[in-house]
């Protein structure tokens, strides 16, 4: 029997409403994530790569429990995401870390 994945996202979407620009039209919606499904096995490392504005930070904020999806399911170590977006994952998130990479390795120091 295989071990449950450490992170499992199923059909996760995240939409943001923009401010209304007109009284006659609905507020525009930005679709940051659309139908993201992935599994990360326990003990594995993974990277999220994409262009600026592709939803990387939004996805990682959802995994870390700092934001919640508009729809879909998020499981960390078998536990479903908290209902309150500010609740966080507590001890579950201790295994998550952020690593920001830049394109240029040049140093600005003299």
Can you give the residue ranges of every domain in the chain? 7-95
Task: Kindly list the distances between the CA atom of residue 7 and the CA atoms of 19, 23, 58, in Å, as whole numbers in the listed order.
Answer: 33, 42, 16
> Distance between alpha carbon 28 and the CA centroid of its chain, in Å?
22
pLDDT of residue 96: 53
Nearest to 78 by CA among 11, 14, 3: 3
CB atoms within 10 A of CB 103: 5
Least confident of 10-24, 67-81, 95-109: 95-109
Pairing of strands 7-17, 29-40: antiparallel
Q: What global pTM score does this model have?
A: 0.70
Digit-coded pLDDT (tens) for 53-90: 899 999 999 988 889 899 999 998 887 765 444 444 44
Give the integer Cα–Cα distance in Å for 46 and 54: 17
Inform me whether the pLDDT recorded for 37 exceeds 90.
yes
pLDDT of residue 2: 65
Task: Kindly list the distances between the CA atom of residue 2 and the CA atoms of 5, 17, 41, 42, 58, in Å, as whole numbers in the listed order.
Answer: 9, 40, 10, 11, 29
In this structure, CATH architecture of domain 7-95: 3-Layer(aba) Sandwich (3.40)
Give the pair of three-digit tokens for residue 21.
Answer: 């620009």
């Amino acid at each position: 029997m295989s071990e449950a994945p450490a992170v499992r996202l199923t059909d996760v979407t995240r939409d943001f409403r923009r401010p209304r620009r007109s009284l006659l039209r609905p507020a525009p919606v930005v679709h940051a994530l659309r139908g993201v499904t992935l599994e990360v096995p326990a003990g594995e490392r993974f990277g999220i790569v994409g262009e600026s504005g592709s939803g990387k930070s939004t996805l990682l904020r959802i995994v870390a429990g700092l934001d919640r999806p508009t729809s879909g399911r998020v499981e960390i170590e078998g536990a479903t995401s908290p209902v309150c977006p500010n609740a966080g994952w507590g001890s579950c998130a201790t295994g998550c870390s952020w690593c920001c990479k830049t394109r240029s390795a040049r140093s600005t120091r003299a």
